[in-house]
Amino acid sequence: MSLLIGNIGSLVTNDPALGEGPLGLLSDAAVVVDGDTVAWVGPAEKAPAADESVDAAGRALLPGFVDSHSHLVFAGDRTAEFNARMSGRAYEAGGIRTTVAATRAASDAELNANLTRYLAEMLRQGTTTVEVKSGYGLSTADEARSLRIAAGHTEETTYLGAHVVGPEFADDPAGYVELVTGEMLEACAPYARWVDVFCERGAFDGEQARAVLTAGMAKGLRPRVHANQLSPGPGVQLAVELGAASADHCTHLTDRDVAALADGGTVATLLPGAEFSTRAPYPDARRLLDAGARVALSTDCNPGSSFTSSMPFCLAVAVREMGMTPDEAVHAATAGGALALRRTDVGRISPGARADLQLLDAPSHVHLAYRPGVPLTAAVWQGGVRKA
Annotated binding site for N-formimidoyl-L-glutamate: 136, 302, 304
Residue (300 or 328) nearer to Fe ion, CB: 300
Return the one option of ligand NIG, Fe ion, none that residue 198 interacts with (CB less than 5 to 8 A, by type): ligand NIG
Q: Which stretch binds Fe ion (CB under 5 A): 37-45, 166-174, 292-300, 307-315?
A: 292-300
Q: Does 156 bind Fe ion (CB under 5 A)?
A: no
Among 305, 358, 364, 377, binds ligand NIG (CB under 6 A): 305
Q: Does 251 bind ligand NIG (CB under 6 A)?
A: no
Q: Which residues contact 55 (CB under 8 A, 6 or more apart)?
A: 6, 7
Q: How far is residue 170's CA from residue 388's CA, in Å, rounded to a whole number?
A: 45
Window 158-217: residues binding ligand NIG (CB under 6 A)? 198
**DSSP one-letter string for 157-212:** EEEEEESS--GGGTT-HHHHHHHHHTHHHHHHGGG-SEEEEEESTTSB-HHHHHHH
Q: Does 275 bind ligand NIG (CB under 6 A)?
A: no
Judged by DSSP in three states, 39 sits in strand
* 370, amino acid identity: Y
Q: How far is the CB of 89 from ligand NIG (least distance, A)?
A: 13
Point out the annotated binding site: 69, 71, 78, 136, 163, 226, 229, 300, 302, 304-305
221 touches 245 (CB < 8 A)? no
Q: Does 95 bind ligand NIG (CB under 6 A)?
A: yes
Point out the annotated binding site for Fe(3+): 69, 71, 226, 300
Among 85, 222, 226, 365, binds ligand NIG (CB under 6 A): 226
Q: How far is the CB of 74 from ligand NIG (least distance, A)?
A: 8
Q: Which stretch binds Fe ion (CB under 5 A): 23-31, 79-87, 299-307, 363-371?
A: 299-307
Return the one option of ligand NIG, Fe ion, none that residue 229 interacts with (CB less than 5 to 8 A, by type): ligand NIG
Q: How far is the CB of 305 from ligand NIG (least distance, A)?
A: 4
Rg (CA), the chain: 20
Among 131, 143, 300, 328, binds Fe ion (CB under 5 A): 300
- Strand locations in the chain, DSSP E? 2-11, 26-34, 37-43, 52-55, 60-63, 65-67, 127-130, 132-133, 157-162, 194-199, 222-223, 225-227, 246-249, 267-270, 295-297, 357-360, 377-382, 385-386
Q: Which stretch binds ligand NIG (CB under 6 A): 150-158, 280-288, 297-305, 335-343?
A: 297-305
- How many helices (H) and strands (E) would you count in the chain? 15, 18
Q: How far is residue 144's CA from residue 350's CA, in Å, rounded to a whole number?
A: 37
Q: How far is the CB of 244 from Fe ion (least distance, A)?
A: 14
Q: How far is residue 126's CA from residue 305's CA, in Å, rounded to a whole number?
A: 22
Q: How far is the CB of 131 from ligand NIG (least distance, A)?
A: 12
Q: How far is residue 115's CA from residue 149's CA, in Å, rounded to a whole number?
A: 8
Contact residues for ligand NIG, defined by CB under 6 A: 71, 93, 95-96, 99, 198, 226, 229, 274, 300, 302, 304-306
